[in-house]
Amino acid sequence: MEETKEALNSMVINSDNPGAALDDAIGAVKKVLDDYTPLKKVSRTQRRLAQKSWITSDLYKLIKTKNKLYRAIVRCKFDDKQEYKRYKKMRNFKVNHQLEISKRKYYQSQFLECGNDSAKIWKLINTLTNSQVKTHPYPNKLLNPINSQHRKSRKDG
């Protein structure tokens, strides 16, 4: 670390061009960051599950086990009835049931945190129902009253 600090100082002090010195310093800092804190690749599944706050590490392990069972069943083309029953039991009674319980508890705690703040409550309700915010909160008649009056007069006449 000390040698990196000295290298940065010598780059900045010995350089005639401040822009080039800054670029060199940024490059050196990026190299140190990559060496000491490399980025970890995260799969799409892990990213999607990380967005769902109610999925705990135990539930994630159950989901992985369920997926392994499913892949084993697919490999044997659903011929093994015992494995298929085991998979369905795992899916229905362990994983899905635990997910429902965990999700219910999570949103109950979220509603309690909202208290009497109606804006927060409605934001939470919209996330639960996957509702999108409308682009125009007002009806078209209010946005463009001239055209709506023109249409009425054409209909009447």
DSSP string for 96-150: IHHHHHHHHHHHHHHHHHHTT-HHHHHHHHHHHHTPPPPS-SS-HHHH-HHHHHH
Using pLDDT thresholds of 50, 70 and 90, give the confidence band for residue 1.
Answer: low
Using pLDDT thresholds of 50, 70 and 90, give the confidence band for residue 104.
Answer: very high
Neighbours of 51 (CB within 10 A): 7
Mean pLDDT of 4-12: 69
Using pLDDT thresholds of 50, 70 and 90, give the confidence band for residue 97.
Answer: very high
Which residue did the predictor score with more confidence, 20 or 91? 91
- Mean pLDDT (the chain) is 79
Q: Is the pLDDT of residue 93 over 60?
A: yes
Which residue did the predictor score with more confidence, 52 or 151? 52
pLDDT digits (tens, 9 = 90+) for 31-87: 878 778 877 787 887 777 777 888 888 888 898 889 898 888 888 887 878 888 888
Question: What SS3 class is residue 88?
Answer: helix
Q: What's the angle, vertex CA 36, arms to CA 33 and CA 41, rounded to 5? A: 80
Q: Which residues contact 148 (CB under 8 A, 6 or more apart)?
A: 140, 141
User: What pLDDT does 128 receive?
Assistant: 83
